[in-house]
Structure 1
Amino acid sequence: MNPNAGRHLVALLLMIILLFIGFVSWFIIALTTSSALLGISTLVFFILLIIGVILWSLKRVKIKYLLFALLGISLSYAAIFVGYEVHRSYIANIPTINDGEVDLREYQPFREGTKVVLLNEESLLTLTTQDSLPRIDGATALYPLYSAFVRATYPQKEYNLYNSEVNGGTTPEAFRRLIEGEVDIIFCAAPSKKQIEEAKEMGKTFNLTPIGREAFVFFVNKENPVRDITCDQIRQIYSGKITNWRDVGGKNEAIKAFQRPEGSGSQSMLERIMGDTPLMKPLQNDRVGGMGGIIDRTAQYKNFSNAIGYTFLFFATGMVKNEQIALLKVDGVYPDRNTIANNTYPFVGDFYAITTDTKNENVERFIEWILSPQGQYLVEKTGYTPINKE
């Protein structure tokens, strides 16, 4: 019998075990992180272990030297892993500005202690349980407003955020549900070109009724010295032509320009601001999805010292209330109620009650009431600018 057979058999078993553990480790890391360095380091670590086993089986290296080498490799990998976890923890603790920060349950219409604005008199429109209640949905930032409409006019009961006549979702999902006939009205900013095309493909046309006005704002980390920016500079930043804060009066630091997911109300607004200027590819996070494919997702805003982001005024100041950011003046004008009302702030737009081909007879009554003094009172008291404010 070959005296080395036992050594080769042990080596073979060790390599099989290492291959299995290495593949499982790489797969878990790929699913749970977006770090290419950690994934590559894991592969290299196990490859070096397997090479070491092969050299041992061929008697090309003494066991004590092999053990020292493996110890060094293991310590190096451990240092990389610990460094990654420390960095990930640091990144995770940087404040964000995104829809997930807001607990919409706090704005449910009949929740005890709800944050929605209450009408200061009896509503002139009352929809009873015998009526066909309009099914509604809308943008996250507008949920506090249309929840206030519901509080004033709908029968009192619990309206589940995700499965009732009054849903609290996101702009892309609201448009999808409206197109597919799952809801009668949505409250959103104007649809994107893609959403208009999707509606046409289904044989539907959006009917937009302006119900209020809002400012589209840009913000930076409060430690960023830049406080004023021009319309043209914004377009150059988001087209990728301006890449350093020093070019707009700030520090010598690369600009990290975050965007929102396609189809969101704020992303559609940015696209309208850009006009014919091409929008650069957004910052992305990637993750391995089903069947091993890479899924790219638009990175959510992280309040790095060199970051810039955007949203709507009420969302930033009324719902999120993040004290670590600073809103920017645009062309010397600060976004607030007054500059929205007098149209001096350059990025002001209407938001709408949007319908398609609903047959619900109460939809028209509901929209008419929203445009009445009572509905516009709730628009203003919630934190928006009424459409008919003089």
Structure 2
Amino acid sequence: MDIIFAPAPSSNQRAEAEDLSVEFELTPLGREAFVFFVNETNPIQSLTHEQLRSIYTGQVTDWAEVGSESGTIQAFQRPEGSGSQTALQQFIGEAELMDPPAEDRVAGMGGIITETADYRNHPQAIGYSFRFFATEMNDTDGIRLLAIDGVEPTRENIANDTYPLSSEFYAITRVGEDDENVATLVEWMIGPEGQTIVERTGYVANE
């Protein structure tokens, strides 16, 4: 693979690349935001960093503990190694994540495997993703993006970096790969026309 467009690689991905003697070159293309969301019927509008960490480490288990109506929190996660799960782990830091909701699925040859359950928009659910996938790639009917520390994940707040979980996304290539077509594409993406495409696809362009 010559180029991918993605958030910064995780520490595990960098370690795997290093084992293969591969070094990444990251070219910023725009800004993205890591967002948390709930069912739209949940009256909660905003959570703090600490409240979210407490939910995803299992210290807070009822919505009443964070100012909403009482109900057992269903804190969904994403599969290990996914970009969203990597972002959550970085957000949590050194604390240990709670076990995610899981479900059994039929595997090859009729076997059963247990996997991290996909998000289900139950009234007590909370999930997370990157804003682009939460708003552009999926049906957003029935969910509400939460403000973090009182700051909503709007395009303006992402662009000016006031939303606390905003970050850059990149064109990721290999150092030392001299592919003229790849270099031309990257240059085009950071130019005016490429940045217009970034905006049109739902991301926030570089300023």
Aligned equivalent of 1:223: 41
Contact 1:286–1:294 (Cα < 8 Å) also in 2: yes
The Cα shift of 1:314 comes to 2.3
Equivalent of 2:184 in 343, 355, 365: 365
The Cα shift of 1:190 comes to 1.2
The Cα shift of 1:266 comes to 1.2
The Cα shift of 1:371 comes to 0.8
**Cα distance in 1 for residues equivalent to 2:83 and 2:7:** 6
Equivalent of 1:306 in 92, 103, 124: 124
The Cα shift of 1:196 comes to 1.3
Runs of 4 or more, structure 1, over 3 Å off, are 287-294
**Cα distance in 2 for residues equivalent to 1:273 and 1:243:** 19
The Cα shift of 1:289 comes to 3.7
Per-residue Cα deviation, 1:50-97 (whole angstroms, up to 9, x for no partner): xxxxxxxxxxxxxxxxxxxxxxxxxxxxxxxxxxxxxxxxxxxxxxxx
**Cα distance in 2 for residues equivalent to 1:234 and 1:259:** 13
**Cα distance in 1 for residues equivalent to 2:180 and 2:201:** 27
**Cα distance in 2 for residues equivalent to 1:291 and 1:314:** 36
The Cα shift of 1:294 comes to 4.4
**Cα distance in 2 for residues equivalent to 1:322 and 1:354:** 29
Contact 1:215–1:336 (Cα < 8 Å) also in 2: no
Change in Cα spacing, 1:293 to 1:197, as seen in structure 2 (3 Å) is: farther
The Cα shift of 1:350 comes to 0.7
The Cα shift of 1:319 comes to 2.7
Q: Between the two proteins, what is the percent identity of the paired residues?
A: 52
> Aligned runs of 1:110-125 on 2, under 5 Å?
none
Aligned equivalent of 1:375: 194
Structure 1 counterpart of 2:77, one-letter code: Q
**Cα distance in 1 for residues equivalent to 2:177 and 2:120:** 40
In the alignment, structure 2 segments of 5+ residues that lack a partner are: none
Per-residue Cα deviation, 1:279-312 (whole angstroms, up to 9, x for no partner): 2222111235457764221110000110000112
The Cα shift of 1:321 comes to 3.6
> Aligned runs of 1:149-298 on 2, under 5 Å?
183-287=1-105, 289-290=107-108, 294-298=112-116
**Cα distance in 2 for residues equivalent to 1:207 and 1:284:** 36
More strand by share: 2
Matched, 1:350 2:172: no
Per-residue Cα deviation, 1:193-231 (whole angstroms, up to 9, x for no partner): 221121112111221111110111110001111111001
Structure 2 counterpart of 1:339, one-letter code: N
**Cα distance in 1 for residues equivalent to 2:205 and 2:110:** 49
Larger relative contact order (C-alpha < 8 A, sep ≥ 6)? Answer: 2
Contact 1:219–1:328 (Cα < 8 Å) also in 2: yes
TM-score by length of 1: 0.51
Matched, 1:324 2:136: no
SS of the residue 1:314 aligns to: helix
Contact 1:266–1:312 (Cα < 8 Å) also in 2: yes
**Cα distance in 2 for residues equivalent to 1:321 and 1:289:** 28
Per-residue Cα deviation, 1:222-245 (whole angstroms, up to 9, x for no partner): 111111100111111111111110
Equivalent of 1:384 in 168, 192, 203: 203
**Cα distance in 2 for residues equivalent to 1:214 and 1:223:** 26
Change in Cα spacing, 1:369 to 1:288, as seen in structure 2 (3 Å) is: closer
**Cα distance in 1 for residues equivalent to 2:189 and 2:202:** 15
SS of the residue 2:158 aligns to: helix
The Cα shift of 1:358 comes to 3.1
> Aligned runs of 1:15-164 on 2, under 5 Å?
none
**Cα distance in 2 for residues equivalent to 1:281 and 1:300:** 14
**Cα distance in 1 for residues equivalent to 2:112 and 2:191:** 50
In the alignment, structure 1 segments of 5+ residues that lack a partner are: 1-182
**Cα distance in 2 for residues equivalent to 1:288 and 1:320:** 25
Per-residue Cα deviation, 1:322-364 (whole angstroms, up to 9, x for no partner): 2201111110011111101111111001111001253422211
TM-score by length of 2: 0.93
